[in-house]
Protein backbone atom coordinates (compact mmCIF):
# COMPACT_ATOMS: atom_id res chain seq x y z
CA UNK A 1 0.00 0.00 0.00
CA UNK A 2 2.92 2.34 0.77
CA UNK A 3 4.24 1.92 -2.76
CA UNK A 4 0.89 2.81 -4.30
CA UNK A 5 0.68 5.97 -2.19
CA UNK A 6 4.18 6.99 -3.22
CA UNK A 7 3.37 6.56 -6.88
CA UNK A 8 0.27 8.70 -6.56
CA UNK A 9 2.22 11.35 -4.68
CA UNK A 10 4.95 11.50 -7.33
CA UNK A 11 2.72 11.77 -10.36
CA UNK A 12 -0.59 13.20 -9.16
CA UNK A 13 0.84 15.58 -6.58
CA UNK A 14 4.05 16.72 -8.27
CA UNK A 15 4.37 19.74 -5.97
CA UNK A 16 5.69 17.32 -3.39
CA UNK A 17 8.81 16.94 -5.57
CA UNK A 18 10.97 19.55 -7.25
CA UNK A 19 11.33 19.41 -11.01
CA UNK A 20 14.51 20.35 -12.82
CA UNK A 21 15.36 18.57 -16.07
CA UNK A 22 12.69 16.80 -18.11
CA UNK A 23 11.03 13.96 -16.21
CA UNK A 24 9.69 10.59 -17.35
CA UNK A 25 5.91 10.70 -16.94
CA UNK A 26 3.66 8.05 -15.43
CA UNK A 27 2.49 6.66 -18.77
CA UNK A 28 6.05 5.73 -19.72
CA UNK A 29 7.24 4.78 -16.24
CA UNK A 30 4.29 2.44 -15.76
CA UNK A 31 4.97 0.76 -19.10
CA UNK A 32 8.60 0.20 -18.11
CA UNK A 33 7.65 -1.52 -14.85
CA UNK A 34 4.74 -3.40 -16.38
CA UNK A 35 6.50 -4.88 -19.42
CA UNK A 36 9.64 -5.85 -17.51
CA UNK A 37 7.74 -7.44 -14.61
CA UNK A 38 9.57 -5.35 -11.99
CA UNK A 39 8.78 -6.42 -8.45
CA UNK A 40 9.77 -6.04 -4.82
CA UNK A 41 13.34 -7.14 -4.16
CA UNK A 42 14.65 -6.40 -7.67
CA UNK A 43 17.84 -4.46 -8.37
CA UNK A 44 17.68 -1.55 -10.82
CA UNK A 45 20.36 0.64 -12.39
CA UNK A 46 18.97 3.93 -13.73
CA UNK A 47 20.86 6.51 -15.82
CA UNK A 48 20.71 9.46 -15.80
CA UNK A 49 18.89 10.47 -12.69
CA UNK A 50 17.66 13.89 -13.86
CA UNK A 51 15.08 15.03 -11.31
CA UNK A 52 14.89 11.51 -9.86
CA UNK A 53 11.23 10.84 -10.67
CA UNK A 54 11.78 7.55 -12.48
CA UNK A 55 14.18 6.32 -9.81
CA UNK A 56 11.59 7.14 -7.14
CA UNK A 57 8.85 5.35 -9.08
CA UNK A 58 10.99 2.25 -9.56
CA UNK A 59 12.21 2.42 -5.96
CA UNK A 60 8.65 2.38 -4.63
CA UNK A 61 8.10 -0.89 -6.52
CA UNK A 62 11.30 -2.72 -5.50
CA UNK A 63 11.07 -1.58 -1.84
CA UNK A 64 11.67 -2.62 0.84
CA UNK A 65 14.27 -5.27 -0.06
CA UNK A 66 15.28 -4.09 -3.53
CA UNK A 67 17.60 -1.32 -4.63
CA UNK A 68 17.73 1.42 -7.27
CA UNK A 69 21.08 2.99 -8.10
CA UNK A 70 20.68 6.06 -10.28
CA UNK A 71 23.76 7.41 -12.07
CA UNK A 72 24.08 11.16 -12.58
CA UNK A 73 27.25 13.02 -13.57
CA UNK A 74 25.86 16.57 -13.22
CA UNK A 75 26.05 17.73 -9.61
CA UNK A 76 23.05 20.07 -9.81
CA UNK A 77 20.84 17.24 -11.06
CA UNK A 78 22.25 14.71 -8.58
CA UNK A 79 21.61 17.09 -5.68
CA UNK A 80 18.03 17.75 -6.81
CA UNK A 81 17.33 14.04 -7.32
CA UNK A 82 18.75 13.20 -3.91
CA UNK A 83 16.48 15.76 -2.24
CA UNK A 84 13.46 14.39 -4.10
CA UNK A 85 14.33 10.85 -3.01
CA UNK A 86 14.43 12.05 0.60
CA UNK A 87 11.07 13.81 0.19
CA UNK A 88 9.61 10.55 -1.06
CA UNK A 89 10.98 8.67 1.96
CA UNK A 90 13.06 6.31 -0.17
CA UNK A 91 16.62 7.16 0.84
CA UNK A 92 17.14 3.59 2.09
CA UNK A 93 16.12 2.17 -1.30
CA UNK A 94 17.23 4.71 -3.93
CA UNK A 95 20.87 5.79 -4.19
CA UNK A 96 21.90 8.72 -6.37
CA UNK A 97 25.41 7.90 -7.54
CA UNK A 98 27.56 10.78 -8.77
CA UNK A 99 29.20 8.96 -11.63
CA UNK A 100 29.21 8.73 -15.42
CA UNK A 101 27.50 5.58 -16.65
CA UNK A 102 29.60 5.76 -19.83
CA UNK A 103 32.65 5.07 -17.67
CA UNK A 104 31.15 1.83 -16.37
CA UNK A 105 28.58 0.37 -13.97
CA UNK A 106 29.87 -1.19 -10.76
CA UNK A 107 26.62 -3.00 -9.88
CA UNK A 108 26.15 -6.60 -11.05
CA UNK A 109 23.27 -9.04 -11.38
CA UNK A 110 20.75 -6.26 -11.97
CA UNK A 111 17.19 -7.07 -13.00
CA UNK A 112 16.66 -3.84 -14.96
CA UNK A 113 18.78 -1.08 -16.49
CA UNK A 114 17.04 2.08 -17.71
CA UNK A 115 18.93 4.45 -20.01
CA UNK A 116 17.55 7.96 -20.44
CA UNK A 117 20.60 9.56 -22.00
CA UNK A 118 21.83 11.11 -25.20
CA UNK A 119 23.99 8.52 -27.00
CA UNK A 120 22.61 5.77 -24.76
CA UNK A 121 23.65 3.22 -27.39
CA UNK A 122 27.19 3.76 -26.09
CA UNK A 123 26.14 2.37 -22.69
CA UNK A 124 24.39 -0.74 -24.02
CA UNK A 125 27.39 -3.07 -23.75
CA UNK A 126 27.96 -1.99 -20.14
CA UNK A 127 24.28 -2.58 -19.39
CA UNK A 128 24.50 -6.06 -20.89
CA UNK A 129 27.41 -6.96 -18.59
CA UNK A 130 25.58 -5.56 -15.55
CA UNK A 131 22.35 -7.49 -16.04
CA UNK A 132 21.62 -11.00 -14.84
CA UNK A 133 20.42 -13.48 -17.49
CA UNK A 134 16.82 -12.63 -18.32
CA UNK A 135 17.28 -9.03 -17.18
CA UNK A 136 15.96 -6.04 -19.12
CA UNK A 137 17.50 -2.93 -20.59
CA UNK A 138 15.06 -0.14 -21.52
CA UNK A 139 16.02 2.86 -23.61
CA UNK A 140 14.07 6.13 -23.49
CA UNK A 141 14.47 8.12 -26.71
CA UNK A 142 12.71 11.24 -28.03
CA UNK A 143 13.70 10.62 -31.68
CA UNK A 144 13.45 7.74 -34.17
CA UNK A 145 17.14 7.97 -35.05
CA UNK A 146 18.09 7.27 -31.43
CA UNK A 147 15.81 4.23 -31.37
CA UNK A 148 17.49 2.73 -34.42
CA UNK A 149 21.02 3.21 -33.08
CA UNK A 150 20.04 1.83 -29.67
CA UNK A 151 18.26 -1.28 -30.95
CA UNK A 152 20.93 -2.19 -33.51
CA UNK A 153 23.69 -1.80 -30.92
CA UNK A 154 21.69 -3.82 -28.39
CA UNK A 155 21.35 -6.67 -30.86
CA UNK A 156 25.04 -6.46 -31.73
CA UNK A 157 26.12 -6.96 -28.10
CA UNK A 158 23.76 -9.90 -27.57
CA UNK A 159 20.40 -8.55 -26.42
CA UNK A 160 17.16 -9.98 -27.75
CA UNK A 161 15.00 -7.12 -29.02
CA UNK A 162 11.50 -7.34 -27.57
CA UNK A 163 9.79 -4.21 -28.89
CA UNK A 164 10.00 -0.47 -29.40
CA UNK A 165 6.80 1.42 -28.59
CA UNK A 166 5.23 4.83 -28.12
CA UNK A 167 2.70 5.34 -25.34
CA UNK A 168 -0.07 7.85 -26.01
CA UNK A 169 -2.73 8.87 -23.49
CA UNK A 170 -5.92 10.44 -24.84
CA UNK A 171 -8.78 11.35 -22.53
CA UNK A 172 -12.36 10.54 -23.54
CA UNK A 173 -14.90 13.29 -22.93
CA UNK A 174 -18.12 11.87 -21.50
CA UNK A 175 -21.09 14.26 -21.83
CA UNK A 176 -24.87 14.09 -22.17
CA UNK A 177 -24.74 15.32 -25.75
CA UNK A 178 -21.99 13.01 -26.97
CA UNK A 179 -18.79 11.26 -26.08
CA UNK A 180 -15.57 11.71 -28.04
CA UNK A 181 -11.81 11.95 -27.57
CA UNK A 182 -10.49 15.20 -26.14
CA UNK A 183 -8.72 17.46 -28.59
CA UNK A 184 -5.65 17.54 -26.38
CA UNK A 185 -3.79 14.80 -24.60
CA UNK A 186 -0.41 13.55 -23.46
CA UNK A 187 0.86 12.34 -26.80
CA UNK A 188 4.51 11.99 -27.77
CA UNK A 189 7.05 12.14 -24.97
CA UNK A 190 9.52 9.50 -26.11
CA UNK A 191 9.90 6.02 -27.54
CA UNK A 192 10.66 3.05 -25.30
CA UNK A 193 12.85 0.19 -26.51
CA UNK A 194 12.87 -3.06 -24.55
CA UNK A 195 15.92 -5.32 -24.81
CA UNK A 196 16.35 -8.56 -22.89
CA UNK A 197 19.53 -10.41 -21.97
CA UNK A 198 19.08 -14.05 -23.00
CA UNK A 199 18.33 -16.48 -20.22
CA UNK A 200 20.89 -19.19 -19.53
CA UNK A 201 20.01 -22.53 -21.09
What is the C-alpha end-to-end distance of the chain, expressed in Å?
37
Residue span of the structural domain in which 36 resides: 2-196
Confidence at residue 135, expressed as pLDDT on a 0 to 100 scale: 98
- The reply to whether 201 falls in a domain is no
Q: Are 118 and 145 in contact (CB under 8 A)?
A: no
- The reply to whether 131 falls in a domain is yes
User: Domain total for the chain?
Assistant: 1
- The reply to whether 69 falls in a domain is yes
Residue 50 to residues 79, 103, 117, Cα–Cα distance (Å): 10, 18, 10
CATH number for position 142: 3.40.50.150
Question: Which of the residues in the chain have pLDDT under 50?
Answer: 1-4, 14
- The reply to whether 190 falls in a domain is yes
- The reply to whether 124 falls in a domain is yes
The model's pLDDT over 155-193, given as tens digits with 9 standing for 90+, comes to: 999 999 999 999 988 889 999 999 998 887 777 899 999
Confidence at residue 11, expressed as pLDDT on a 0 to 100 scale: 55
Confidence at residue 15, expressed as pLDDT on a 0 to 100 scale: 53
- The reply to whether 64 falls in a domain is yes
- The reply to whether 116 falls in a domain is yes
Confidence at residue 4, expressed as pLDDT on a 0 to 100 scale: 47
Amino acid sequence: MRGVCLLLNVFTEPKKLKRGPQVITLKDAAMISGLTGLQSGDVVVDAGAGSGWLAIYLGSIVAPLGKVVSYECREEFASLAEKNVARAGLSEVVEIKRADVFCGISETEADLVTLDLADSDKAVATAFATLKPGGWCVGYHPCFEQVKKFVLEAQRVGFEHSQSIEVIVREILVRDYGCRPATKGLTHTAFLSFERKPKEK
